[in-house]
Structure 1
Amino acid sequence: MNSMDVVRVLARYRFSYTNEISLQDQIEAVFKYNQIPYKREHRLSDSDIVDFYIDGVAIEIKIKGHPVAVYQQCVRYGSHDSVKEVLLVSAKNFALPDVIGSKPAYVYFLSAL
């Protein structure tokens, strides 16, 4: 499964959330319902813990935050050998370059209900 596969699954659902944890819980429910093997709060290193990890895809969920800080977080995740792609799932219209640390990077924008 790659980032675009994850996006295709998430795009079939609407999410209603008030905070990042509630959004993560809903996304986790989608993964479970669709029988997608995932790891939540996956430790890439002592200091880097990504929200979800699926087949080498580091998935970070953000509903707020400063764009530079979010970018730096994604760069750290992309620096790990175990990460093949970085996917930022966000309620804010963040932008990422197409490649982070030689790895494809994507942003999926969630519109709020």
Structure 2
Amino acid sequence: MLKRFKKNNKGFTLVELMVVVVILGILVAIAVPIYNSITGNAEKNACHANLRTIDGAKTQYAVSSGLTWPGDFFRGGTIPKCPSGGTYSHTDPTDADQAECSEHGTYK
């Protein structure tokens, strides 16, 4: 009866499992820096899109009459924020300078 149980030696050895863990570790070591780079580029592009939106709203405010800043120009009545935590300057509608982020600079 014991021979019947011993014949069934299916499964993975410790060495095979360790090889799989090492391969997964190498893949993660490659993927994480690429993911961080892509995330950083996405945040920068989103920031530049916000800056273009702010500059467009400033121009629209300059030619409009009877609208209030920023309530009539942005959803929720607040100026967009940088996704990376930077602060925007030159967001006053009477300021002729281009909007700028403390972390990403300008979009041009």
Normalised by the length of structure 2, the TM-score is 0.26
Normalised by the length of structure 1, the TM-score is 0.25
Question: Greater helix percent: which structure?
Answer: 2
- Larger-gyration structure (1/2): 2
Question: Greater strand percent: which structure?
Answer: 1
